[in-house]
């Protein structure tokens, strides 16, 4: 039987890798719906190749004049999108929208009991308590696409939770961690976009350079695996071969490894619990391979300290942390602020919005807005 997918963010880096996985397993996976932001030409081309039942573009004009396959419905509102992802012809929703626009459709799909393959870490960072509570209630499974979390998910497997001691997230360190001679107030946008091991969208690539991506992933791991910050360690592993590790109470560590290619975690989530052949390169041990591990430089890169503070604070602090970072990254990309100010702006915004409440979705969205307004001029 085929698994029917709704892919949110289908034209991005994760979205296009997802469609490659669908092509490799067309007897198992099919596409019911595709969602993108403004790239109507790319979305329409995907629709012609994968024949979904529906399409949604956040900027509806983007699809004007595009040639679409017959019987493909173009949705015209968020409400229609929510109804479509919750409908009977969707088995799993893969969310890879950059930012927080995927929150509402994902939350509603969870309430409807759909399985979620989650790449958009922002959703858990912003609203982890609501999302995990909704999943516990409906029985929906949240399968982590993020490579580190997918690695942990694979290593944990069927082991009982009381045997788990801690998890160890690996981080490439981005282009700057291994270069202490660089002045971080002077590095350029192009230098920050030159990631040494992974090819990804623009926002997450900048987040890797600040280590904010690992900060977001610490918070994401806390929600996915139900752990406090002091049971999650981060280690710099520049080769990005070990995707993360789990330590059990006997001090045995299990790691998941492979070349950096998101097709593997995407496919694992889409075919879970089965493993199928995957269109990624197999490890080649006929060539020598060195793996190294160093502790993160928290003085030069404050992102992890800020993320740990966010986890201890709880409430709406995740939403504030994420929103402030999104604004600061955009300001850096517009060449309005130096690189080193990104984490400074996040820290300042967290201080200014420390009293924001996060008991329900409305409060979380308010905190997100407050943080954005503050961070634009911070």
Provide the binding-site residues for Mg ion, judged by CB under 5 A.
Answer: 146-148
Residues 256-285 touching ligand NAD, rule: CB under 6 A, are 262
CB of 46 closer than 8 Å to CB of 177: no
In the chain, alpha helices (H): 13-24, 40-50, 78-86, 103-111, 121-138, 147-156, 189-192, 202-210, 212-225, 263-271, 303-313, 317-333, 341-352, 361-377
Kindly state the smallest distance separating residue 48's Cβ from ligand NAD, in Å.
17
Kindly state the smallest distance separating residue 217's Cβ from Mg ion, in Å.
6
Helix axis angle for 212-225 and 317-333, nearest 10°, is 150
Helix axis angle for 317-333 and 341-352, nearest 10°, is 150
Kindly state the smallest distance separating residue 356's Cβ from ligand NAD, in Å.
22
Q: Is 146 in the site for ligand NAD (CB under 6 A)?
A: yes
Paired sense of beta strands 242-248 and 232-236, if any: unpaired
Kindly state the smallest distance separating residue 119's Cβ from ligand NAD, in Å.
4
Q: Is 167 in the site for ligand NAD (CB under 6 A)?
A: no
- Look at residues 7, 24, 19, 31 and name the one whose alpha carbon lies nearest to residue 96: 7
Residues 84-103 touching ligand NAD, rule: CB under 6 A, are 96-99, 101
User: Which of 115/146 has CB closer to ligand NAD?
Assistant: 146
- Residue 169 touches which member of Mg ion, ligand NAD, none, C-beta under 5-8 Å by kind: none
Q: Is 201 in the site for ligand NAD (CB under 6 A)?
A: yes
How many residues make contact with ligand NAD (CB under 6 A)?
A: 27
User: Which of 115/146 has CB closer to Mg ion?
Assistant: 146
Token pair, residue 215, equals 């900060």
User: Which of 13/30 has CB closer to Mg ion?
Assistant: 13
Q: Is 14 in the site for ligand NAD (CB under 6 A)?
A: yes
The Cα-based distances of 291 to 170, 173, 237, 240, 288 in angstroms read: 12, 14, 7, 9, 10
Kindly state the smallest distance separating residue 127's Cβ from Mg ion, in Å.
19
- Look at residues 97, 101, 106 and name the one whose alpha carbon lies nearest to residue 141: 106
- Residue 240 touches which member of ligand NAD, Mg ion, none, C-beta under 5-8 Å by kind: none
Q: Distance of alpha carbon 89 from its chain centroid, rounded? A: 25
CB of 208 closer than 8 Å to CB of 339: no
Residues 301-360 touching ligand NAD, rule: CB under 6 A, are none
> From CA 336, how far away is CA 164, in angstroms rounded?
45
Paired sense of beta strands 92-95 and 115-118, if any: parallel
The residue from 39, 166, 231, 348 that contacts ligand NAD (CB under 6 A) is 39
The residue from 31, 36, 103, 135 that contacts ligand NAD (CB under 6 A) is 36
Kindly state the smallest distance separating residue 270's Cβ from Mg ion, in Å.
17
Kindly state the smallest distance separating residue 338's Cβ from Mg ion, in Å.
25
- Look at residues 145, 123, 120 and name the one whose alpha carbon lies nearest to residue 134: 123
The residues that touch ligand NAD, with contacts defined as CB under 6 A, are 9-15, 35-37, 39, 58, 96-99, 101, 119-122, 146, 198, 200-201, 204, 262
């Amino acid at each position: 039987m085929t698994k029917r997918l709704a892919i949110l963010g289908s034209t991005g880096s994760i979205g296009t890798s997802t469609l490659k996985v669908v092509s490799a397993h067309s007897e198992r996976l099919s596409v019911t719906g595709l969602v993108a932001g403004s790239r109507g030409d790319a979305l329409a081309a995907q629709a012609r190749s994968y024949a979904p039942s529906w399409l949604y573009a956040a900027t509806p004009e983007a699809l004007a004049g595009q040639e679409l396959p017959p019987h493909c419905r173009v949705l015209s509102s968020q409400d229609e999108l929510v109804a479509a992802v919750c409908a009977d012809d969707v088995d799993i929703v893969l969310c890879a929208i950059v930012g927080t626009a995927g929150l509402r459709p994902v939350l509603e799909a969870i309430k409807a009991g759909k399985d979620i393959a989650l790449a958009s870490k922002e959703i858990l960072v912003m609203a982890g308590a609501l999302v995990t509570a909704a999943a516990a209630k409906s029985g929906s499974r949240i399968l982590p696409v993020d490579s580190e979390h997918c690695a942990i998910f694979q290593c944990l497997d069927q082991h009982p939770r009381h045997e788990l001691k801690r998890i160890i997230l690996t981080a490439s360190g981005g282009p700057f961690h291994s270069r202490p001679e660089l002045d971080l107030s002077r590095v350029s946008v192009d230098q920050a976009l030159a990631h040494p091991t992974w090819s990804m969208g623009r926002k997450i690539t900048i987040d890797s350079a600040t280590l904010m991506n690992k900060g977001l992933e610490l918070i994401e791991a806390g929600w996915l695996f139900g752990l406090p910050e002091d049971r999650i360690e981060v280690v710099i592993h520049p080769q990005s071969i070990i995707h993360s590790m789990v330590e059990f109470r006997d001090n045995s560590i299990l790691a998941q490894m492979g070349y950096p290619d998101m097709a593997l975690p995407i496919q694992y989530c889409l075919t879970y619990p089965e493993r199928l052949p995957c269109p990624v390169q197999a490890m080649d041990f006929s060539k020598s391979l060195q793996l190294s591990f160093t502790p993160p430089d928290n003085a030069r890169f404050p992102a992890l300290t800020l993320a740990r503070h966010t986890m201890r604070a709880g409430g709406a602090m995740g939403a504030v942390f994420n929103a402030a970072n999104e604004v600061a990254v955009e300001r850096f990309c517009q060449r309005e602020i130096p690189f080193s100010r990104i984490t400074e702006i996040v820290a300042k915004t967290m201080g200014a919005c420390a009293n924001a409440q996060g008991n329900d979705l409305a409060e979380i969205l308010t905190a997100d807005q407050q943080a954005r307004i503050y961070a634009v001029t911070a």
